[in-house]
Amino acid sequence: MQIHILKKRNQITLISGVLIAIAFISNWTIGNMNLFVWSLVIASVIGAAPIAIQAYQALRVKVVSIDVLVTIAVIGAFLIRNFEESAIVTFLFLFGAYLEQRTLNKTRSAIKELTEMAPESALKQMENGEFEEVEVDDVDVGDVLLVKTGAKIPVDGTVLTGEGSINEASITGESIPVGKEKGSSVFAGTILDNGTIQIVADRVGEDTTFGKIIELVEEAQDSKSEAERFIDRFAKYYTPAVLVIAFMVWLFSRDIELAITILVLGCPGALVIGVPVSNVAGIGNGARYGVLLKGSEVIRDFSRLDTIIFDKTGTLTAGNPSVAEKGYYGDNIDHALSYLASVERESDHPLAKAVLEEIGETTFSSVENTEVVKGGGIVADVNGHRIAVGNVALMERENIEISEQAKADVARFEKNGNSLVLTAVDGKLKVLMGIRDQIRPGVKQDLLRLKKLGVKNLVMLSGDNQGTVNLVSRELGLTEAYGNMLPEDKADYVKKLIEKEGQIVAFVGDGVNDSPSLALANIGIAMGSGTDVAIETSDVVLMNSDFSRLPHALGLVKATARNMKQNIVIAVGVVLVLLASLIFSEWMNMSIGMLAHEASILVVILNGMRLLNYKLRY
């Protein structure tokens, strides 16, 4: 019976609303007092039933909930035969709860979308060798699974047979499909775009990368900051206190009307819901944009940031050398490039890879009489031509002719921090390439955005030499930059800023060799492509190592922190205004109080919902 009534809450709300409408319409049109009173009585009784049941259940487990306050208030109104108020208050309370549920679900939608991407079933190989569909919970490590085109990869595993391409957007945020073949790793929650593969399960359920991401986000949305825990503790004593005050008022004034009005006005409503709503919407927005935020404590610290420290290699720069500048001299450059590629193809020098990547597709010729000159480069015969590939010293040794133009280029490229690869064909310099670890595209604009968002210091720490560090720093407009730093030096620097200078510091790194600094900083931000270490040691993860998500993350946490404050002000403000108008005005009554409360709850939820659409404006 009890459960039945609770399940029918929405229908009860509707009926009670219709009855109240009938009561007032009949009163205004035909002036039938009987119909007016009886409609309101019935509306009060059926409306109060679910609230009273909830109140009773709460009291049984020793909780004074809002339902208790409202139930007593309604009974009080009923006793003094104020059926108008009892009916309207119950209706507003029920209708408010209905709207709350609808709007709350919206604020949670972003995170729900994420959790719903979790795979549910798998085709598992049974003992007879056949594949059967089972729930993903029934898959154990070592099981062999079949994945068909269009299906989700159910677990983290390794491809046994077959090949196909997989969309890994759910893990990396990168939607271009990745080719997989025997021996490749595949991840739970990613989608097989085409092909059919058999995989062996390496990690299942919550141990998979996707499972960890979901768990992190789910825990984050319910993690509580110090302020929130305070509000919770406060609410625990607040509601019983309202009950006691109302009782005292009745005891001394013998004014039931006043006492029950206090009960309704005192409901904590928006206060307890305001902060969690901002939290869940902010974290949800982050999850959509590839920014994983680990809870409301992180949001608070992150939003008050003074300094961001960046690791250089792999964070501000791409992490692997590539050709940054080049110069061509004379004609037949295409031939020169194809000879260069042919020579470099046989070399395992780190710069050779960058050169080959730059040239791309070309025709390769056979290379003969190769001579490796230590600390210089390579000299060889290709297609009957004498080819020299190497640095300036090699060119001098080979008596290569270098034009004035080329000499100027050499000087300029060197000044820009490049390593040089010169290519000469038959004694003439043809190609000059400057190779360095380049700054990631867009980083400069992103750093500007961070400054606009109020970050005071942008610092770079690197293991590289001070010269290179200075070049990068000048190009990016950083506040400070230090080279020759070991991981422990970086950690010491972070510690110094926090302890000696009292700054709030974020450290941005790749999560592997910087873990001490990530852990020490107030906010550790990992540029992770979904790696476990990054997820575990940091407070914020930028998915797919995408640096451009950092300004969004900072803007978002600032907006979320603001949103929480707004909600607290709205909630506290409404209670204060209501209580003040009870004392100083004539018009305040239970129904208006309830209306104001329900409205304030909706306002804080709607305010929180704005965060779901947050986008960085500049």
- Cα Dmax for the chain: 116
Could you confirm whether 334 is annotated as catalytic?
A: no
Cβ proximity to other proteins, 7 vs 474, nearer residue: 7
Binding mask 60-89 for other proteins (x = CB under 8 A): xxxx-xxx----------------------
Q: Which run of H or E residues covers position 54?
A: helix 33-60
Q: Which range of residues in 1-9, 166-174, 527-535, 563-571 is near other proteins by CB under 8 A?
A: 1-9
Verify binding: residue 136, other proteins, rule CB under 8 A.
no
Binding mask 86-105 for other proteins (x = CB under 8 A): -----------x--xx--xx
Verify binding: residue 236, other proteins, rule CB under 8 A.
yes
Q: Which range of residues in 214-222, 303-311, 427-435, 521-529 is near other proteins by CB under 8 A?
A: 214-222
Beta bridge partners of 145: 124, 199
Q: Distance between CA atoms of 72 and 250, rounded to whole angstroms? A: 13
Q: Which pair of tokens denotes residue 494?
A: 């972070």
| Shortest distance in whole angstroms from residue 225 CB to other proteins | 14
Cα torsion through 476, 294, 541, 471, rounded to 10: 20
Q: Which run of H or E residues covers position 476?
A: helix 466-476
Q: Which run of H or E residues covers position 243?
A: helix 226-253
Number of residues that bind other proteins (CB under 8 A): 35
Verify binding: residue 221, other proteins, rule CB under 8 A.
yes
Task: Give residues with Cβ within 8 angstroms of 371, minimum separation 6.
Answer: 378, 379, 380
Q: Which pair of tokens denotes residue 557?
A: 């946490």
Q: Under the phi-then-psi rule, with left for phi > 0, alpha for psi from -120 to 50, and beta for the rest, what region is 413?
A: alpha
| Shortest distance in whole angstroms from residue 611 CB to other proteins | 13
Beta bridge partners of 480: 459
Binding mask 256-275 for other proteins (x = CB under 8 A): ----------------xx--
Amino acid, res. 476: L
Reference 459, options 292, 306, 318, 314; nearest CA is 306
Among 15, 45, 53, 453, binds other proteins (CB under 8 A): 53
How many CB atoms are closer than 10 A to CB 368? Answer: 10
Among residue numbers 272 through 311, which ones bind other proteins (CB under 8 A)?
Answer: 272-273, 276, 279-280
User: Quick check: 378 and 343 in contact, CB under 8 A?
Assistant: yes
Pairing of strands 156-167, 121-125: unpaired
DSSP code at position 401: B
Verify binding: residue 207, other proteins, rule CB under 8 A.
no
One of 156, 311, 446, 539 is an active-site residue; which one?
311
Q: Which range of residues in 216-224, 309-317, 341-349, 568-576 is near other proteins by CB under 8 A?
A: 216-224
Instruction: Write down how long the chain is.
Output: 618
| Shortest distance in whole angstroms from residue 253 CB to other proteins | 28
| Shortest distance in whole angstroms from residue 202 CB to other proteins | 19
| Shortest distance in whole angstroms from residue 53 CB to other proteins | 7
Q: Which residue has the tokens 């085109």?
A: 149
Verify binding: residue 108, other proteins, rule CB under 8 A.
yes
Cβ proximity to other proteins, 550 vs 604, nearer residue: 604
Footprint of other proteins (CB under 8 A)? 2-3, 6-7, 53-54, 57-58, 60-63, 65-67, 97, 100-101, 104-105, 108, 111, 137, 218, 221-222, 232, 235-236, 239, 272-273, 276, 279-280
Question: Which residues participate in catalysis according to the annotation?
Answer: 311
